[in-house]
Amino acid sequence: MRTANESTKQSLDIIIIGASGGIGQYLVRVFSKTNRIIGTYHSGSPINLEGGAEYFKVDVTNLEEVSNFFKNIGPSLSMPILIYSAGISPNNITLKISDKDWTNTIAVNLTGAMYCSREILPWMRSLNYGRLIFISSILSRIAISGTLAYSVTKAGLNAMAKVIAIENAARGITSNAIALGYFELGIINTVPKKFLNNCVIPKIPLKRLGAPDNICSTINYIIDSDYLTGSIIDLNGGIISK
């Protein structure tokens, strides 16, 4: 069985689901310097996507498209890392959330993660190596008004990471989630500046948004750690300290 230290000596196959988003594009930019990057997009334009990756248009809510994607790339994988960063975040209180917003959020944020995990696990198991990394959120751990669908899906990702971890631990596969706080990219760009400065940043013990390189260093830590599995890593500047 290959160890994490052995994996760092060769190029990894890093599959970024949701590579057209702010976090996804940043990860492509950083990890493509030394690794093979396979990214998926859906609503974004491939013309505007960051260079250094092989891009595939995939609707993560469509099982046939997800299955065909992994059948296409599976035979070429040798050191597969799956990073699930696809996500949408409608903002409405429970009383007013629409059926469409609820259904779409569950489909993209959670069902898509299950589809991708289920399709790549046979390839990982055949290689006796794999890393599944789910980009979760602090909102899986704290309650914020208007985030019901998003929060539920991120809590679901945490549970998914744990279950997959125990099911595949004997096959050299680890499964973890990173519960992100407030960072300088991604969904934070939709938050009004006034609310950000008056309500969000004052609640962060470090009194600043997170720099994106912290996400990359945490992902590297997960990749290199063959004994870390079934964990939810809180990366939030101290908002959650236990």
Quick check: 187 pLDDT over 90?
Answer: no
User: In the predicted model, what is the mean pLDDT of residues 162-187?
Assistant: 94
Rounded-to-integer distance, Cα 150 and Cα 137, Å: 9
DSSP H helical ranges for 74-212: 99-106, 112-127, 148-168, 193-195
Q: What are phi and psi of 185, to 5 degrees?
A: -160, 170
Mean residue pLDDT across the chain: 92
**Per-residue confidence (pLDDT) for residue 43, from 0 to 100:** 84
Mapped onto helix, strand or coil, the DSSP state of residue 210 is strand
**Per-residue confidence (pLDDT) for residue 4, from 0 to 100:** 41
Both tokens assigned to 137: 């959120």
What global pTM score does this model have?
0.93
Label residue 181 by pLDDT band (50, 70, 90): very high
Residue position matching structure tokens 């990890």: 31
Quick check: 6 pLDDT over 80?
Answer: no
- Model confidence over 213-241: pLDDT tens digits? 999 999 999 999 999 999 999 999 999 75
- Model confidence over 16-25: pLDDT tens digits? 999 999 999 9
Contact 142, 172 (CB under 8 A): no
User: In the predicted model, what is the mean pLDDT of residues 202-219?
Assistant: 94
Contact 39, 25 (CB under 8 A): no
Label residue 9 by pLDDT band (50, 70, 90): low
- Model confidence over 111-170: pLDDT tens digits? 999 999 999 999 999 999 999 999 999 999 988 889 999 999 999 999 999 999 999 999
Residue position matching structure tokens 């013990």: 205
Q: What domains can you pick out in the chain, each with its CATH number?
A: 10-234 (3.40.50.720)
User: In the predicted model, what is the mean pLDDT of residues 30-35?
Assistant: 95
20, 112, 113, 37: which is closest to 76 by C-alpha? 37
**Per-residue confidence (pLDDT) for residue 143, from 0 to 100:** 87
- The dihedral region occupied by 234, where left means phi > 0, alpha psi between -120 and 50, and beta the remainder, is beta
Burial class (CB within 10 angstroms; exposed 0-12, middle 13-18, buried 19+) of 113? buried
Contact 50, 74 (CB under 8 A): no
User: In the predicted model, what is the mean pLDDT of residues 93-111?
Assistant: 96
Rounded-to-integer distance, Cα 236 and Cα 109, Å: 20
237, 89, 117, 95: which is closest to 176 by C-alpha? 117
Contact 149, 101 (CB under 8 A): yes
- Model confidence over 34-92: pLDDT tens digits? 999 999 999 877 788 888 899 999 999 999 999 999 999 999 999 999 999 999 999 89
CA distances from 114 to 16, 67, 133, 164 (A): 15, 12, 12, 10
**Per-residue confidence (pLDDT) for residue 93, from 0 to 100:** 92
Quick check: 178 pLDDT over 50?
Answer: yes
Contact 185, 216 (CB under 8 A): no
Q: What are phi and psi of 159, to 5 degrees?
A: -65, -40
